[in-house]
Amino acid sequence: MGLVYLEYDFTIEPAQPATDILIAELGEVGFESFVENETGLLAYILKSDWREDILDGLFILQQPGFEISWIQKEIQQQNWNAEWERNFHPITVGDRCMVRAPFHPAAEVEYDIVIEPKMSFGTGHHETTHMMLQHILDMDVQGKSVLDMGCGTGVLAILAKKKGAGPVDAIDIDEWCYLNTQENIERNDCESIKAFQGDSSLLKGKKYNVILANINRNILMEDIPVYVECLTSGGTLLLSGFYLKDLDAISSKCAAYGLQFEKNLEKNNWISAKYVN
């Protein structure tokens, strides 16, 4: 028998920015995956990680400007792919990169990335992943060592590799993400990417020219010193997974460890920022 997940079907009105805030808050309390739809959001959590009061402290659910309701049901892990196939559509980034599922036809683009849409964050649909892909497209990573921290599906590592980066490492604390990344590495003929399961403690003694970290504000703030320690001279740190209101705090933390802010992208109040040393 597969793992049992709980599916929360949220109806959200108006959709934004409530949906983005809800995703961020649900991620903090243990929800693993999200699918946006016409009425709001589907959110998934392992039944073993669920507790009775899991939604009680969510800020967005207390705000009078939004109407948010939900229904809950159990869902077997093996049903997940059918759920994704109903909701997953190819995306293009800058007309140069397509992120698609295996059941979508290929397109004439410079970088064609095939992601099996399982229960991992990072299909390119979320603003943070989309912006990180944009940053990578804009950079010269040829021959540079790259770390994809909190890799999700491995999509960022895969684009970096397709652009000529190497060596490339991908790390995620979640076993599902680690296994999914391994599958997607093989699917995209990028077997030289090395995937690891774990957290920033794995980075001791490592050095990279480019570090990609699309996680969340709290983990980024905690791990920025570790990332800086791992950056080579003249290296680049790309961060995402936080809101515009958090940019000053993130930039101040980076500055305290000798990094200079270079630029940021913004999409629907989400930020992806570039820092150099």
Residue 190 carries which DSSP code? -
**Residue 191 per-residue DSSP state:** T
The answer to whether residue 251 scores a pLDDT higher than 70 is yes
**Which of 28-32, 92-96, 154-158, 265-269 has the highest mean predicted lDDT (pLDDT)?**
154-158
Q: Rounded CA gap, 100 and 257, in Å? A: 38
Dihedral, CA of residue 197, residue 203, residue 205 and residue 209, to nearest 10: 110
pTM: predicted TM-score of the whole model, two decimal places? 0.73
Per-residue H/E/C for 85-106 = HHHCCCEEECCCEEEECCCCCC
pLDDT of residue 1: 45
Domains, in order of start, for the chain: 4-78 (3.30.70), 121-276 (3.40.50.150)
Q: Which residues contact 234 (CB under 8 A, 6 or more apart)?
A: 209, 276, 277
CB 213, CB 227: distance < 8 Å: yes
Binding site for S-adenosyl-L-methionine, residues?
129, 150, 172, 214
pLDDT for res 184: 95
Q: Which residues, 6+ apart, have CB-to-CB distance to 162 below 8 Å?
A: 111, 113, 188, 190
Q: Which residues pair with 114 in a beta bridge?
A: 100
Which residues are known binding-site members? 129, 150, 172, 214
User: Measured in Å, how far apart are the chain's first and last C-alpha atoms?
Assistant: 50
Predicted pLDDT of residue 192: 96
**What per-residue confidence (pLDDT) applies to 163?**
97
Q: What is the pLDDT of residues 183-212, one digit of tens each?
A: 999 999 999 999 999 999 999 999 999 999
Task: Give 158's contacts (C-beta < 8 A, 6+ positions apart).
Answer: 113, 184, 185, 188, 190, 193
Task: Find, among 141, 168, 173, the residue nearest to 157 by Cα.
Answer: 168
pLDDT at 94 (0 to 100) = 86
pLDDT > 70 in the chain, percent: 91
What does pLDDT average to over the chain? 89
pLDDT of residue 85: 61
Q: Please state, as a whole number, how many other Cβ atoms lie within 10 Å of the Cβ of residue 183.
A: 16
**268: left (phi > 0), else alpha (psi -120 to 50), else beta?**
left
Tell me: cis bond preceding 167? Omega within 30 of 0 counts.
Answer: yes
